[in-house]
Amino acid sequence: MCGRFAVTLPPDAMAQLFEAAPSNDLPEVPNYNVCPTNQIHVVMEDAGRRLVSMRWGFLPHWYKAPNGGPLLINARAETIAEKPAFKAACRERRCLIPCTGFYEWTKDENGNRLPWYIHPSQDSALVFAGVWQDWERDGQAFRTCAVVTCAANQAMSKIHHRMPVVLAPDNWAKWLGEEGRGAATLMTPAPEDALSFYRVDPAVNSNRAKGAELIAPL
């Protein structure tokens, strides 16, 4: 799964990387502790690529309030095409979610949560497959999204049995629907050598923690 991540690329660098027009309401960076319900950077296709801000936490149209059901920050690749919450978005509203790295946790023999920072082995950014949904009710309106996840590869399985679907640059256009069909074939684990990881300080266990020290090797 993916429950926290870090973003350090400036918006202009992200816009250049994706050849996307940036919105003027993008979240502040760097952010070393992006949490569910935060506004995050997302690349969507809308008569051209746009870099926009979305709420991380997908809201199906039938939710009567933002807290009207489970917090959907992840969408499982194995069931995304059938789940009522995600099936339309999987067909029509796919997006790219850039970050610098993400966190996952193991436990020690005493049950203490031990955080790990997972980052690209070579590239400067990770790009997750995502889906998005507009939600509006009673004067409230949100553009929301979720990260698509799949079974972990062998390397990541040492930490967690799930991982985000990581998209290589030559697959961005296909996931966004710019190159016709075939997006379903992309929902597979990243190559074994694509990601590296190391332990970080448990300070990141708090969703209020901030600062570059959160991604410093322990």
Residues recognised as catalytic? 2, 104
Q: How far apart, in whole angstroms, are the C-alpha atoms of residue 66 and residue 55?
A: 10
What is the longest distance spanned by two Cα atoms in the chain? 53
Residue 200 · residue 103 · CB < 8 Å: yes
- What does the angle CA 37 – CA 155 – CA 30 come to, to the nearest 5 degrees? 35
> Mind giving me the DSSP string for 179-205?
T-S-GGGG-SPPPTTSEEEEEB-GGGG
| Residue located via tokens 């322990």 | 218
**How far is 147 from 81, CA to CA, in rounded Å?**
14
* Edge-to-edge strands, sheet with 101-107: 31-34, 5-7, 101-107, 113-120, 195-199
How many other β-carbons are positioned within 10 Å of the β-carbon of residue 32?
Answer: 24
